Chains A and B, each alone.
Chain A
Amino acid sequence: GNSVTQMEGPVTLSEEAFLTINCTYTATGYPSLFWYVQYPGEGLQLLLKATKADDKGSNKGFEATYRKETTSFHLEKGSVQVSDSAVYFCALSDRNQGGKLIFGQGTELSVKP
């Protein structure tokens, strides 16, 4: 079945450091890919998405490119801020499997001043 695997956390960075959170997926069809973010004490909210191969999603300085050849959707940001401290979830939705969201386990990011 379909699945999503993320790098384990927690990830601790200093402010203005470069961020990469790895995400790889397994899918039988052609899924849409998402990054959701969960700030402390809140529900999840969509950060960015990509719906087909080679698409790049971007928002708030974060980027991720849909790489079909490596089945990856790594999240990057050039310069993180303390306010980026949160848990980040990679997810996929495959119309061939009913379109339901399947999440990775989440990666906690902590940014220190």
Chain B
Amino acid sequence: NAGVTQTPKFQVLKTGQSMTLQCAQDMNHEYMSWYRQDPGMGLRLIHYSVGAGITDQGEVPNGYNVSRSTTEDFPLRLLSAAPSQTSVYFCASSRGVGNYEQYFGPGTRLTVT
């Protein structure tokens, strides 16, 4: 039982490049989400999904796309990287929303130059 896995752990991009951050969970959780962590700002929700085929925007969705074709996978796509997207990205999953525990992946540290 690996929990929530994320790849890559580190990535450097040039402005304008695109890439996909991978996230997978093996706990059969319906709810998955992506956050970015910036100093002094806590974690901010980018996108989330309440089940396969269903996604919605969070607090800071601009510049990011997501899809959820399976219960297990929830990739995050950066369409055209900008220096403002330099951050640490966390994927999380849970059985549902409300008072359920969210399980976090180890994070991806992204630098955009």
On A, residues with C-beta under 8 Å from B are 4, 32, 41-46, 49, 51, 89, 93, 95, 98-106
Contacts and interface: CB of A to CB of B under 8 A. Distances in A.
A32 B104 contact: no
Contacts, number: 56
Nearest to B90: A43
A73 B35 CA distance: 23
5 contacts: A43-B105, A44-B90, A45-B103, A100-B58, A103-B43
B107 interface: yes
Contacts of B4: 43
A90 B55 CA distance: 25
Given A93-B99, A95-B97, A100 B104 contact: no
Contacts of A106: 40, 42
B107 A99 contact: no
B98 A95 contact: yes
Contact of A49 (B42, B45, B92, B99): B99
A101 B41 contact: no
B101 interface: yes
B74 interface: no
B99 A44 contact: no
A98 B47 CA distance: 13
A99 to B, nearest CB: 3
A88 to B, nearest CB: 11
Contacts of B97: 93, 95, 98-100
B80 to A, nearest CB: 26
B106 A99 contact: no
Nearest to B31: A99
A105 B107 CA distance: 17
A93 B98 CA distance: 5
A106 B37 CA distance: 10
B58 A43 contact: no
Contacts of A98: 97
A51 B99 contact: yes
A95 to B, nearest CB: 5
A49 B5 CA distance: 24
